[in-house]
Chains A and B, each alone.
Chain A
Amino acid sequence: MALIEGKTGNWEVVIGLEVHAQVVSRSKLFSGAATGFGAEPNSQVSPVDAAFPGMLPVINRFCVEQAVKTGIGIEGKVNPTSVFDRKNYFYADLPAGYQISQFTRPIVSGGSIALDLPEGRSRTIGVTRLHLEQDAGKSLHDQHPNLTYVDLNRAGTALMEIVSEPELRSAEEAGAYLRKLRTILRYLGTCDGNMEEGSLRCDANVSVRKPGAPLGTRCEIKNVNSIRFAMLAIDYEARRQIDLIEEGGVVKQETRLFDSARGVTRPMRSKEQAHDYRYFPDPDLLPLVLDPAEIERLRAAMPELPDRKKERFVQDYKLTPYDAGVLVSERQTADFFERVAKGRDARAAANWVTGELFGLLNKAGKGIEQSPVSADAIGALLDLIADNTVSGRTAKDVFAEMFETGKDAAAIVEAKGLRQVTDSGAIEAAVDRVIAEQPEKVAEFRAGKDKLFGYFVGQVMKATGGKANPGTLNELLKKKLSG
């Protein structure tokens, strides 16, 4: 448990997260308007989204399925009956004056998320609930000196609000929770997890207490849009509360905003003062009843999720938990790796994917789906190493060229004459030559200066243009030098 040191002793931070995940769907939760990001303002708004009088919401079946899949993915209980409520508040980008949400009877209750922490540690965090709700529109405050511009394209888009139990105990754990949740959502294809575009946003409830003491008063930090900012905001807020209490102050329950430019949280003024949403069942919508057979069909069609996949990679491929964790963080990466590893040395495949390939992809600022070298092409290169056509050292140069040109390994090896010399006669000749040219060094070595062995290896390698099979070279060199 990570404690924070204060002037009066150690403090424990208690964090609960509310994540808003935009559901991947073509149309909105209750209307047939499109959901794409970046469209012309107000071009994806139906009369339902703009809350025109007399318009009735009709629920999108696919959004319901997406929520059910996510519920199963976080090991929650899918409720056969759930109810939509109105959450009432006034804001310029909420045309109806209420948000359709789920309050007393959400579509999913309970669940859990396993955190992957440094040094292979792990912790399981409870999920309280997942419910479906509408997103609001977008207000632009910086377009005009005394007007706010409102774009309703986002209004009515389906969101899943996923609420954790207040079981997180550090910014690090909060970061791990968000990363894992994002990975699960992306595996399921229920949310694209794109934080820059606002598809995944997070509110953090933070309080502090002395270990073992009852819960302190919490502050809610609203609308944090990156994992790093969430962690910075939590650290800042915990410290602020500790300093406040230790100086004799009292934490006031309030909503705060994270100012990422200055790295501080500050109280939010207008919107959330009321906190009196007067929820009541939406009379426009009947209870949402799910067919148990349909839930089972969705359960049966679930893809393998990251935790399971990681376990399988460790068990079947004998990967380290760390490498397996890196490979399963994105489904595409895991699939890519499995394609490379198929019928080959899996650990070598993992090393090449996480080492050479990731290195060059990062440098080029590319994702794995844009890799200029396919999984099969890397596989073919590994085959050339395995059958001694090229040494591992040479293979790295070949790989760099594959990445650059998109050519396949065998063609590069042939064109550049990189085929490894395994012919012991040729290597032996090179060894003899080097020994003959360096009598003093040979004498020193024989007098006990063992370190010189590496020097001789380098000389012979050089003499063979780097193509000598290292195993054969070592063996011959050892024999001749001691001889």
Chain B
Amino acid sequence: MSIDKATVAHIAALARIRVPEADRERLAGELRKIVAWIEQLDEIDTTGVEPMASVVEMTTPQRPDAVNDGDCRDKVLANAPAASHGFFTVPKVVE
């Protein structure tokens, strides 16, 4: 996988992180190195091996279908940058 300045700009935009033009070349270099390091894994033949979704030898715990949370609007809204009439408010999203 080749990572250049444009890739950095693209993934920065997807992640909503502002990356100044001046930093992009340097970051591209760092990301290339990280990816190259991880790509060493490609040397291993994984034919016929189940894809691994977790390194823990456990399955996911399950809970019963009971209502025992929520109903705490004031707490949920307490840290919101802005709220009104019980809603979170954000700058208008035009559709």
Do A and B come together as binding partners?
Answer: yes
- Specify the chain A residue showing the minimal Cβ separation from B58: A286
Q: A270 to B94, Cβ gap below 8 A?
A: yes
A333 within 8 A of B: no
**Contact pick for A41, options B85, B91, B92, CB 8 Å:** B85
Q: B89 to A149, Cβ gap below 8 A?
A: yes
**Contact pick for A148, options B65, B72, B76, B91, CB 8 Å:** B91
Q: A151 to B70, Cβ gap below 8 A?
A: no
**Contact pick for B76, options A50, A88, A281, A287, CB 8 Å:** A50
Q: B76 to A47, Cβ gap below 8 A?
A: yes
B49 within 8 A of A: no
B65 CB, nearest partner CB in chain A, Å: 3
**Contact pick for B91, options A88, A90, A140, A147, CB 8 Å:** A147
Q: B90 to A148, Cβ gap below 8 A?
A: yes
Interface size on B, residues (CB 8 A): 39
* Cα–Cα, bound, A416→B78 (Å): 69
* Cα–Cα, bound, A46→B62 (Å): 17
A92 CB, nearest partner CB in chain B, Å: 5
**Contact pick for B66, options A26, A40, A269, A271, CB 8 Å:** A26
Q: A147 to B70, Cβ gap below 8 A?
A: no
Q: List the one stretch of A2-10, A29-37, A400-408 in contact with chain B.
A: A29-37
A2 CB, nearest partner CB in chain B, Å: 32
Q: B94 to A33, Cβ gap below 8 A?
A: no
Q: B71 to A61, Cβ gap below 8 A?
A: no
**Contact pick for A286, options B51, B54, B91, CB 8 Å:** B54
B84 within 8 A of A: yes
Contacts of A42 in B (CB 8 A): 73, 76-77, 86-88
* Cα–Cα, bound, A92→B87 (Å): 12
- Specify the chain A residue showing the minimal Cβ separation from B13: A274
B18 within 8 A of A: no
Contacts of B84 in A (CB 8 A): 144, 147, 149
B25 CB, nearest partner CB in chain A, Å: 22
Contacts of A40 in B (CB 8 A): 73, 86
Q: A149 to B67, Cβ gap below 8 A?
A: no
A385 within 8 A of B: no
* Cα–Cα, bound, A285→B89 (Å): 30
Q: B65 to A25, Cβ gap below 8 A?
A: yes
- Specify the chain A residue showing the minimal Cβ separation from B89: A147
* Cα–Cα, bound, A25→B95 (Å): 31
Q: A92 to B93, Cβ gap below 8 A?
A: yes
B53 within 8 A of A: yes
Q: Interface centre among A25, A26, A83, A148, by most B CB within 10 Å?
A: A148
Q: A288 to B59, Cβ gap below 8 A?
A: yes
**Which residues of chain A in 22-64 are interfacial with respect to chain B, using CB atoms and an 8 Å cutoff?**
25-27, 31-34, 40-50, 58-64
Q: A148 to B59, Cβ gap below 8 A?
A: no
**Chain B 20-59, CB within 8 Å of chain A: the 1/0 string?**
0000000000000000000000000000000101101011
- Specify the chain A residue showing the minimal Cβ separation from B57: A286
- Specify the chain B residue showing the minimal Cβ separation from A153: B70
Contacts of B16 in A (CB 8 A): 90
B1 within 8 A of A: no
Number of contact residues on A: which range applies? 35 or more
* Cα–Cα, bound, A34→B67 (Å): 6
- Specify the chain B residue showing the minimal Cβ separation from A140: B87
Contacts of B72 in A (CB 8 A): 45-47
Contacts of A83 in B (CB 8 A): 53
**Contact pick for A59, options B63, B68, B69, B91, CB 8 Å:** B63
A141 within 8 A of B: yes
**Which residues of chain A in 52-103 are interfacial with respect to chain B, using CB atoms and an 8 Å cutoff?**
58-64, 83, 88, 90-92
Q: B92 to A150, Cβ gap below 8 A?
A: no
- Specify the chain B residue showing the minimal Cβ separation from A287: B53
**Contact pick for B62, options A59, A149, A274, CB 8 Å:** A59
Q: Interface centre among B53, B58, B63, by most A CB within 10 Å?
A: B53
Contacts of A257 in B (CB 8 A): 95
Q: B76 to A32, Cβ gap below 8 A?
A: no
Q: Interface centre among B75, B85, B89, by most A CB within 10 Å?
A: B89
Q: A63 to B89, Cβ gap below 8 A?
A: no
Q: B92 to A58, Cβ gap below 8 A?
A: no
Q: A276 to B14, Cβ gap below 8 A?
A: yes
A332 CB, nearest partner CB in chain B, Å: 24
- Specify the chain A residue showing the minimal Cβ separation from B16: A90
Q: B88 to A60, Cβ gap below 8 A?
A: no
* Cα–Cα, bound, A144→B87 (Å): 12
A353 CB, nearest partner CB in chain B, Å: 35
User: What would 10 A/B residue contacts be, using CB atoms closer than 8 Å?
Assistant: A25-B65, A32-B70, A45-B73, A60-B65, A61-B64, A62-B65, A144-B89, A147-B91, A152-B88, A270-B95
Known: A33-B69, A44-B70, A92-B90. 18 other contacts (CB 8 A): A31-B70, A32-B67, A41-B73, A41-B85, A42-B77, A43-B70, A43-B73, A46-B69, A46-B72, A49-B70, A50-B76, A63-B65, A64-B62, A270-B94, A270-B95, A283-B54, A285-B60, A288-B60
Binding site for A on B (CB under 8 A): 10, 14, 16, 51, 53-54, 56, 58-73, 75-77, 82, 84-95
Binding site for B on A (CB under 8 A): 25-27, 31-34, 40-50, 58-64, 83, 88, 90-92, 104-105, 139-141, 143-152, 257, 268-271, 274, 276, 278, 281, 283, 285-289
